[in-house]
Amino acid sequence: MGKLYVIGSINMDVVSSVSQFPLPGETIHSSGTSFFPGGKGANQAVAAAMAGAECAMIGAVGRDPFGDTLVSSLEDRGVEVKSVLAKEGTSGMAIITVNEEGENHIVLSAGANGQLTEADVQAEVRFEDVYAVLLQNEIPWETNVAVIQSASAAGVRVWLNPAPARALPPSLFPLLDTLILNETEAAAVSGVKVEDPMTAELAAGKLLGLGTENVIVTLGEQGCFYANRRGERITVPAYRVKPVDTTAAGDTFIGAYAAASSGGMATEAALRFAAAAAALTVTRPGAQASIPSKQEIELFLEKQPASAH
């Protein structure tokens, strides 16, 4: 099993629970507000570590009261944190509203995440014995591009989750081993409207044609679709659960899949493992606090017959 590097965002999630989302200009009451360590990068690192991978986080927090809490949350869940830097100013924050159906609205404030530079990453990264580098879009894009180029040049797999969604320059696709996207992100990157496994296959085909080796499109309740340049196609249904909070479901899928893949699990089994991890996550509130352990995922899978998807 090789090491995973997650280079990305670390946020404090400020979560308010509401019966329904407010209309523009409307003031509504929340039934409660909670603070949960989150951030796409940090969530993916926690999910990978909880699922059994050796995982190091490279990112930044602010010199504010949240900073130590965010680092401790990572460390307590098995993530290596020696490359988490402290920057002047505030930590990243996500202001999240969750409705009764478990759906969420999220407003991001970059904070220290916006100060993570190419030089910061170069000073911390050692590519020896690294299975893959995981990236997202919550740190400066210039930093991501530099990491993609240097990791690819070193022969290290680069996995990109382009969230929040943005178009990618054509020159980057051949440098990416794996693109992992949800429906919205797949549409933004490929130009193909994605609504189901059939349209996911169309979007994946376009992205593979641009040079990426593997594409995974997550489809929420419709499961996920995988394709690679060798012609392999896999559709994995979602596990049926009652959602409480969908925050971090996608990040959990990515981290769990990375852990399973780095541990040598076959692709379809790794996708099912990741789908189970995501299913467990949505049954619990919060981001990192909701991410299951490897043992919990395996126990969940043991109790799920094929017909339960």
265-278 average pLDDT score = 97
* Residue 193's pLDDT band (cuts 50, 70, 90): very high
pLDDT tens readout for residues 26-62: 999 999 999 989 999 999 999 999 999 999 999 999 9
**pLDDT at position 246 over 90:** no
Instruction: Write down the pLDDT at residue 308.
Output: 46
**pLDDT at position 309 over 90:** no
Distance CA(286)–CA(281), nearest Å, equals: 9
pLDDT tens readout for residues 227-239: 999 999 999 999 9
User: In sequence order, what are the residues at sequence separation of 6 or more whose Cβ sits closer than 8 angstroms to the Cβ of residue 84?
Assistant: 10, 57, 58, 59, 60, 61, 71, 74
14-27 average pLDDT score = 94
* Residue 305's pLDDT band (cuts 50, 70, 90): low
Mean pLDDT of the chain: 94
Distance CA(267)–CA(215), nearest Å, equals: 12
Sign of the CA dihedral running 277, 281, 286, 291:
negative
Instruction: Write down the pLDDT at residue 24.
Output: 94
**β-strands 104-109, 55-62: how paired?**
unpaired
- Known catalytic membership, residue 251: yes
What's phi and psi for 280, nearest 5 deg? -65, -40
Instruction: Write down the pLDDT at residue 118.
Output: 94
The catalytic residue among 13, 120, 245, 251 is 251
Instruction: Write down the pLDDT at residue 1.
Output: 66
pLDDT tens readout for residues 56-110: 999 999 999 999 999 999 999 999 999 999 999 999 998 989 898 888 888 889 9
Alpha carbon separation from 268 to 24, 71, 155, 232 (Å, rounded):
43, 33, 24, 11
Instruction: Write down the pLDDT at residue 129.
Output: 86
Between 173 and 166, name the one with better pLDDT. 173
| Nearest one of 148, 146, 150, 184 to 167, comparing CA atoms | 184
Give percent helix, percent strand, percent coil of the chain, each to the nearest 5.
40, 25, 35
- Beta partners for 180? 216
Instruction: Write down the pLDDT at residue 58.
Output: 98
Q: How far is CA 262 from the centre of its chain?
A: 16
